[in-house]
Amino acid sequence: MMLAVVRIRGSVNVRADIRETLRVMGMKKINSAIVLEDNKTNRGMIMKVADFVAWGEADAETQKSIKGVAHLKPPRKGIKSISLKAPQGDLGYNGAKINELIKRML
């Protein structure tokens, strides 16, 4: 299984370890997206930056559309909230809804 991760928030006033984790993942800018393999290491990195990204299980179409790190457009019809976690906002674990968010950003 693969996980899709989209950066939602910026890095102003962010702890150095979180900023470094985002850099290692290749997500230097807002609206960056990446598809990662679902393993213990990647889950740990996602949990560390969960307050700055939206993530969930990627379907086959999302996996094909994102190769490496993709710099996407802002989503059509906007983001629900950059400060609230799912389901009220878009931060954190979104499950299969991450695919809908990415489609709105392509």
Whether the CA torsion 94, 96, 101, 106 is positive or negative: it is: positive
| Domains of the chain listed by start with CATH number | 2-105 (3.30.1390.20)
The pLDDT assigned to 22 comes to 95
Q: In whole angstroms, how large is the CA radius of gyration of the chain?
A: 12
pTM, to two decimals: 0.90
**Secondary structure element (H or E) that encloses residue 64, with its range:** helix 60-65
| 106 residue type, one letter | L
- From residue 105, give the alpha-carbon distance in Å to each of 6, 16, 30: 10, 28, 12
The closest of 67, 69, 70, 43 to 55, measured between CA atoms, is 43
- Looking at beta carbons, which pairs linking 80-89 to residues 24 or more positions away fall under 8 Å? 82/8, 82/9, 86/54
pLDDT in tens, 12-60: 999 999 999 999 999 999 999 999 999 999 999 999 999 999 999 999 9
Mean pLDDT over all residues of the chain? 93
